[in-house]
Amino acid sequence: MAKLLDKQRYKCALGAMQSVQAIERALPILHSGPGCAQKLSEQIGSSGYFSPNIFPCTSINEKDVVFGGVKKLNSTIEKSLKVIDADMYVVLTGCIPEIVGDDSGEVVSRFNEEEKPVLYVPTAGFKGNNYKGHEQVVDSIIDQFLEKSEEKEAGLVNIWADVPYQDLFWLGNLRELENLVRELGLKPNTIFGYKRGIENIKKIPKAQFNLLVSPWVGLSNVKKMERKLGIPYLHLKTLPIGATETSKFLREVGEFAGVSKEKIESVIKENEDYYYYLIERYADLFLENRVINKQFSVIADAQYSLGITKFLVNDIGLIPAKQFVVDDTPKKYRKEIEEEFKNLNYGIKAEASFETDGYLIHEEIKKHDYHGYPLILGGYYEKELTEDLKGNFLNISWPVQDKVVFDSSYVGYRGGIKLLEDIYTVAVQRFN
Amino acid sequence: MSVNLNNSNLATRENRIGSITGYVGTLKDLASKSECGTLKGCSRCFSQSSTCLSMCGLSQLAGIRDVAIIHHGPAGCSVTSAGSYYMSKVMSKKRNVTSNTVYVGTDMNENDTIFGSTRVLKDVILKVNERYSPKAIFVSSSCATGIIGEDIDSIVDEVKEEISVPIVAVHCEGFKSRIWATGFDISDHAVLQAIVQPPRENAKTNKIAFKNFFESARPEIIEMFKKFDLDPIFLYCNSTVEELSHLSECIATTCICGTLGNYLGNALEEKYNVPYVRSINQCGIKGFETWLREIGKVTNRSEVIEEYIKEQREIYLPQIEEVKKELQGLTAVLGMGPGYTFEVTRVLNELGIKVVWALAWHYDKKYENGDVPPSMKYLLDNDIDFETSVADQQNYEVMNILNKYQPDMYLSRHPGSTVWAIKNGTPVVFVADEYTMFGYKHTLEFAKSILDATRNRNFEQNLAKRSKLPYTKWWYEQNVDAFLEEAK
């Protein structure tokens, strides 16, 4: 049911055009109103080989609402194939065709015989948010493009993580997850970002297993692949940030893949040594400043809310105030995610609130006793609030206005260090 | 025109003033067909995404301080709220004021498209009012709520009894118009309907309503107008509801962009006899002087304005003449909204730069008062002609043109437009700030910026060499109007 969406932090299902955008040389074609692509795109970091302002779009008008827009859709797909050079054409539908009853799937199926794949993703805005839309894109790839493979490539691991563009660090995070898996002697396979694309998509069925690193996004996809393509999956809920979680991550992935214990432990040792070399050098910065106290809150999607909480508690020794999960996590996943928040060292438990109403989140933060200056990691909405509370603010989740990120990452050992750099870059700008 | 403030629905630009989004030809042909009424816009059998009118309309309203925007629809429609939040925070900070404007959505889902959700909408309105005590509330529809027939007008009427501030329905279905500028008109219509009051008795002011986007030149305009005993009120970014309620008392309305200000200016004139300054806009020397003189005429201040012009000319004209020498012979293609395309072409002409092709994102045959837009009239009167097309940000058409003409520069104002020219190897002059070529000082700066942009071509050459453009060879071999179809 409709609700008050105050300080919104996600988009609609059609926002999944950004997941397509993240696949190199895959072109989103929108069957929607003229402005949906522009609204749903990020202004920063979008001008790649394709950008949202060149996505073909049927630009539905009043006439199409009355008489249907299938003719226009047909001609838009047909001309897209002629005008724009892509490896894959992905037709995403918005609200209007769904409500007026356009049979968009049928129109797309007319292009089955084309040399290049043309896929169909139903993403009417009212069907869910862009996290769900992202899953829909991956589902369509599985259903319409992939076939079960008898031949498997030893050590090949498909890696799935959170939502491109919605996650500011998507590119760097995926690359770092790949690096970690590669260090174990495995062959990572991802489909988003530079030089991945259609060739990697084709490799998906040959993988030994799917590795899903996300509290919930993509779980339905890996389950579908298990069913349809016979690929087993390993689901790790926590995005590994910093030494504790990354070492845990390497052990779990390594064990699942059958990597020898010595190999796993030697990778961990080498990484932890360097990590603690850095931590040792900067430890006084954490301990001897007047502006960061022990209590913090994260306001982000389940991925960062959980990942950062674990990092700051288990690596850095901070204490979690209330944490806020703002991605409208489907109810069926919530209990398990809540449990994860309670699974912290020293029996520390974080209380997680699944809340999409930004006003209520702010009221809770204002009420909480942070024992001094609060540390708030959240969306741009928390900037002014944190300033009012004299706290430290880092913009890590959507919407992002305070930061430009090319390919840096919060994942892994390096990612933990990067997050500390960012937090203390904020802190050192003041004395007390 | 006839402004009907009793109805919250406003006809689109296409229907109201015959605006078009598809045309390829020459400026003279476009203008003469407009004048005799034979211009027919074309449609396209292939198009690329452009802009939603709700983004224009509601972003304008969200610029007003301490109001509430309630966007009834799926989360994608109200996603503009995040950008508006940022804008209202940084823009108010820049002025040393505060804004607690709030923009919320209703996160409509599938059930709501079947059963409706006007009850929830009502609760949302009441809750937002209780939480933030806004000074005015705007309740907007979306494509989805529009099609399923959610009656936002009735809900607004219902809550009026419980809410003491102005509240109005704003009809922003994105499919209504291909011309996003219709959104500007919709926001004006809402302000006129809900906020603007008839003038108070004996209210004589020296206030002049100045419709612009983001008021970057506000301090210097205030200073200049002080010399003429005029006090500008800038709309709508950082406006207050109180200021807007007295717009009817202004001595005149003026605007930085005819596309942006046309509806409000004409409506204030029609309803409240506030004269609307009709002239070419303030870009360039000719534009600035014509505009100032028109203000002088309308507000009875010609003498002091002539003095100002004389004094400024002495400072700036020699400097501009110097830069002009270096700009001679450069060629340009530009793509902008019509409120700028046909003004910037004039300025480029003043500077001695040859326009080889001008794209306007739409074209208004006539403004609300029935006249051809002044910018067009000026170009025709001065016998300036060039190839021109009307295309709602159709990038494939822009690229076809850039590839054919390989101009010395591409000028644009819209997000996401510059990179494509650069990948074509064409230097870009981005003129998003509406004051980029405002008056003498900024015209001089603009001329110098063009020189800078065209002198160092390293960036575009580096990128062009290493990037592949996404358009096929086939497309580059076609005429730019290949996909235009006669409108039925």
B107-165 per-position pLDDT tens digit: 999 999 999 999 999 999 999 999 999 999 999 999 999 999 999 999 999 999 999 99
- Please tell me which residue of chain A has the smallest CA distance to B392: A34
Backbone angles phi, psi at B44, to 5 degrees: -120, 145
Quote the minimal CA–CA distance from A303 to chain B in Å.
20
Best of B79, B155, B424 to mutate (most A CBs within 10 Å, chain A): B79
Domains of chain B (ranges, CATH numbers) = 53-194 (3.40.50.1980), 316-486 (3.40.50.1980)
Q: Which of B230, B236, B233, B294 is nearest to B91 (CA)?
A: B236
Q: What SS3 string covers chain A?
A: CCCCEECCCCCEHHHHHHHHHCECCEEEEEECCCCHHHHHCCCCCCCCCCCHHHCEECCCCHHHHHHCCHHHHHHHHHHHHHHECCCEEEEEECHHHHHHCCCHHHHHHCCCCCCCCEEEEECCHHHCEHHHHHHHHHHHHHHHHCCCCCCCCCCEEEEECCCECCECCHHHHHHHHHHHHHHCCCEEECCCECCCHHHHHHHHHHCCEEEEECCCCCHHHHHHHHHHHCCCEEEECCCCEHHHHHHHHHHHHHHHHCCCHHHHHHHHHHHHHHHHHHHHHHHHHHHCCCCCCCEEEEEECHHHHHHHHHHHHHCCCCEECCEEECCCCCHHHHHHHHHHHHCCHHHCCCCEEECCCHHHHHHHHHHCCCCCCCEEEECCCHHHHHHHCCCEEEECCCCCCCCCCCCCCCCHHHHHHHHHHHHHHHHCCCCC
The pLDDT tens digits of the residues spanning B154-194 come to 999 999 999 999 999 999 999 999 999 999 999 999 999 99
Question: What is the second-level CATH architecture of the domain A156-257?
Answer: 3-Layer(aba) Sandwich (3.40)
Tokens of A51: 């950008």
pLDDT score, position B373? 87
With CA atoms as reference, report the closest residue to B428 among B461, B404, B471, B474: B461
pLDDT for the residue B1? 66
Window 230-269 of B: residues touching A by CB (8 A cutoff) are: none
Binning pLDDT at 50, 70 and 90, where does residue B39 land? confident
- In this predicted structure, the answer to whether residue B31 has a pLDDT above a threshold of 90 is no
Please tell me if residue B110 touches chain A, with a CB cutoff of 8 Å: yes
- The pLDDT tens digits of the residues spanning B185-195 come to 999 999 999 99
Rounded CA-CA distance B388/B360 in Å is: 8
Placement of tokens 């497309």 in the chain: B475
B274 touches chain A (CB under 8 A): no
Q: Per the CB < 8 Å rule, is A36 touching B108?
A: no
Q: For residue B419, give both structure tokens.
A: 């990179």
Residues of A252-289 as b/e, b for ≥16 C-beta within 10 angstroms? bbbebbebeeeebeebbeebbeebeeebeeeeeebeee
Whether B109 has its CB under 8 Å from any CB of chain A: the answer is yes
Max CA pair span of chain A: 69
Q: How far is Cα A74 from Cα A77, in angstroms, rounded to an integer?
A: 5
CB nearest to B178's CB, from A34, A39, A100: A34
| Residue B33 binned pLDDT confidence (cut-offs 50, 70, 90) | confident
Please report where in the chains the tokens 């400043």 appear, as a residue: A289
Band (pLDDT 50/70/90 cuts) for residue B366 is confident
Q: Which of B284, B275, B249, B276 lies closest to B260 in space, CA to CA?
A: B276
Chain A residues with CB-CB distance to B107 below 8 A:
2-3, 5, 8, 356
Backbone phi and psi for residue A21, each to the nearest 5 degrees, phi listed first: -55, -30
Chain A residues with CB under 8 Å of B78 CB are 5, 8
Q: Is B232 exposed, middle or buried (0-12, 13-18, 19+ CB in 10 A)?
A: buried
Q: Are B118 and B146 in contact (CB under 8 A)?
A: no
Are B51 and A1 a contacting pair at CB < 8 A?
Answer: no
Contact B34, B209 (CB under 8 A): no
Cα angle B168-B171-B177, degrees, rounded to a multiple of 5: 155
Instruction: Report CB contact under 8 Å: A57, B105.
Output: no
Q: Does the distance separating the beta carbons of B147 and A35 come in below 8 Å? A: no
Segments in chain A below pLDDT 50: none
Which pTM was predicted?
A: 0.97
Cβ neighbours of residue A240 closer than 8 Å, sequence gap 6 or more: A180, A213, A246, A248, A249, A307, A411, A412, A415
Q: Using CB atoms, which residue from A10, A61, A356 is nearest to B175?
A: A61
Domain spans of chain A, in order of start:
13-145, 156-257, 282-427
Residue B409 to chain A, least CA–CA distance (Å): 19
Distance CA B76, CA A221 (A): 23
Using CA atoms, how far residue A55 sits from A80, B415, B461, in Å, is 9, 14, 25
With CB atoms and an 8 Å threshold, state whether A53 touches B395.
Answer: yes
CATH of segment(s) A13-145: 3.40.50.1980
Q: Which of B433, B256, B258 is nearest to B338 (CA)?
A: B258
Find residue A164's DSSP bridge partners: A167
Residues of A with Cβ-Cβ distance to B75 under 8 angstroms: 5, 8, 10-12, 125, 129
pLDDT of residue B488 exceeding 90: no
Spatial distance between the Cα atoms of A377 and A300, rounded to a whole number of angstroms: 8
Largest CA distance in chain B: 69
**Closest listed residue to residue B45, CA positions, set B474, B394, B358:** B394
Q: How far is B155 from chain A (nearest CA, A)?
A: 15
Which among A1, A34, A96 is the nearest to B112, CB-wise?
A: A1
pLDDT of residue A214: 98
B469: nearest CA partner in chain A:
A49
**Complex ipTM, two decimals?**
0.97
Interface of B with A in 360-399 (CB under 8 A): 392-393, 395-396
Q: Shortest CA distance to B366 belongs to which of B22, B27, B33?
A: B33
Nearest-Cα distance to chain A for B180, in Å, is 9
The type of residue at A162 is: D
CB contact (8 A) between residue B416 and residue A359: no
Category of B460 on φ-ψ map: left (φ > 0), alpha (ψ -120 to 50) or beta: alpha
CA distances from A390 to A97, A324, A381, B26, B88 (A): 48, 20, 15, 60, 21
Condensed to tens digits (0 to 9), the pLDDT of residues B394-411 reads 999 999 999 999 999 999
Q: How far is A140 from chain B (nearest CA, A)?
A: 20
Q: How far apart are CA B474 and CA B483, in angstroms?
A: 13
CA of A24, closest CA in chain B: separation in Å?
12
Q: What is the pLDDT of residue A13?
A: 98
Q: Which of B175, B393, B418, B472 to mutate to test the interface with A (most CBs of A within 10 A)?
A: B175
CA distance, residue A403 to nearest chain B CA (Å): 13
Q: Return contacts of B299-305, CB within 8 angstroms, 24+ apart.
A: B299/B208, B299/B228, B299/B230, B299/B251, B299/B252, B299/B275, B301/B228, B301/B229, B301/B230, B304/B227, B304/B228, B304/B229, B305/B228
Chain A residues near residue B108 by CB distance under 8 angstroms: 2, 125-126
The reported pLDDT for the residue numbered B40 is: 83
The CATH homologous superfamily of the domain defined by A282-427: Nitrogenase molybdenum iron protein domain (3.40.50.1980)
CB-based contact A54 B48, cutoff 8 Å: yes
pLDDT at position B38: 80
CB A414 within 8 A of CB A176: yes
Judged by CB atoms closer than 8 Å, whether chains meet at B108 and A84 is answered as no
pLDDT of residue B474: 98
